Protein backbone atom coordinates (compact mmCIF):
# COMPACT_ATOMS: atom_id res chain seq x y z
CA UNK A 1 0.00 0.00 0.00
CA UNK A 2 2.30 2.78 -1.16
CA UNK A 3 -0.34 5.49 -0.80
CA UNK A 4 -1.05 4.57 2.80
CA UNK A 5 2.69 4.51 3.49
CA UNK A 6 2.97 8.01 2.06
CA UNK A 7 0.15 9.21 4.31
CA UNK A 8 1.88 7.77 7.37
CA UNK A 9 5.18 9.41 6.39
CA UNK A 10 3.36 12.70 5.80
CA UNK A 11 1.92 12.59 9.30
CA UNK A 12 5.25 11.60 10.83
CA UNK A 13 6.68 14.75 9.25
CA UNK A 14 3.68 16.79 10.36
CA UNK A 15 4.13 15.55 13.92
CA UNK A 16 7.77 16.55 13.88
CA UNK A 17 6.90 19.97 12.47
CA UNK A 18 4.17 20.47 15.06
CA UNK A 19 6.58 19.32 17.80
CA UNK A 20 4.01 16.98 19.30
CA UNK A 21 6.58 14.70 20.86
CA UNK A 22 4.21 12.62 22.97
CA UNK A 23 1.84 11.72 20.14
CA UNK A 24 3.19 8.29 19.27
CA UNK A 25 1.41 7.10 16.17
CA UNK A 26 1.14 3.67 14.73
CA UNK A 27 -0.69 1.89 11.97
CA UNK A 28 -3.03 -0.84 13.22
CA UNK A 29 -5.05 -2.87 10.71
CA UNK A 30 -4.96 -0.02 8.22
CA UNK A 31 -6.14 2.57 10.76
CA UNK A 32 -3.94 5.55 11.56
CA UNK A 33 -4.05 5.72 15.36
CA UNK A 34 -2.84 8.41 17.71
CA UNK A 35 -2.56 8.45 21.48
CA UNK A 36 -2.81 12.22 21.63
CA UNK A 37 -6.33 13.58 21.14
CA UNK A 38 -4.88 16.93 20.08
CA UNK A 39 -3.71 15.31 16.86
CA UNK A 40 -6.54 16.21 14.50
CA UNK A 41 -4.52 17.24 11.46
CA UNK A 42 -5.13 13.86 9.85
CA UNK A 43 -8.73 14.87 9.14
CA UNK A 44 -7.55 16.96 6.21
CA UNK A 45 -6.48 13.84 4.32
CA UNK A 46 -9.51 11.77 5.23
CA UNK A 47 -7.90 9.53 7.85
CA UNK A 48 -10.04 8.42 10.77
CA UNK A 49 -8.46 9.11 14.14
CA UNK A 50 -8.93 6.86 17.13
CA UNK A 51 -7.68 7.09 20.67
CA UNK A 52 -5.59 4.27 22.10
CA UNK A 53 -8.74 2.30 22.93
CA UNK A 54 -9.75 2.48 19.25
CA UNK A 55 -12.76 4.61 20.07
CA UNK A 56 -13.56 6.89 17.15
CA UNK A 57 -12.81 10.49 18.11
CA UNK A 58 -13.02 12.24 14.75
CA UNK A 59 -13.30 11.67 11.04
CA UNK A 60 -13.19 13.70 7.89
CA UNK A 61 -16.63 14.14 6.35
CA UNK A 62 -15.09 13.95 2.87
CA UNK A 63 -13.95 10.40 3.62
CA UNK A 64 -17.58 9.30 3.78
CA UNK A 65 -18.46 10.44 0.26
For residues 8-18, give the mean pLDDT: 58
Report whether pLDDT(9) > 50: yes
Which residues, 6+ apart, have CB-to-CB distance to 17 below 8 Å?
Answer: none
CA distance 57 to 14: 19
First to last CA, the chain: 21
Tens-digit pLDDT profile for residues 21-57? 344 444 443 444 444 444 444 444 344 454 444 454 4
Q: How many CB atoms lie within 10 A of CB 18?
A: 13
| This prediction's pTM | 0.19
Amino acid sequence: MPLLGNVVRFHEAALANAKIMNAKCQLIAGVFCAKDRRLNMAESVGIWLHDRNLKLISKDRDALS
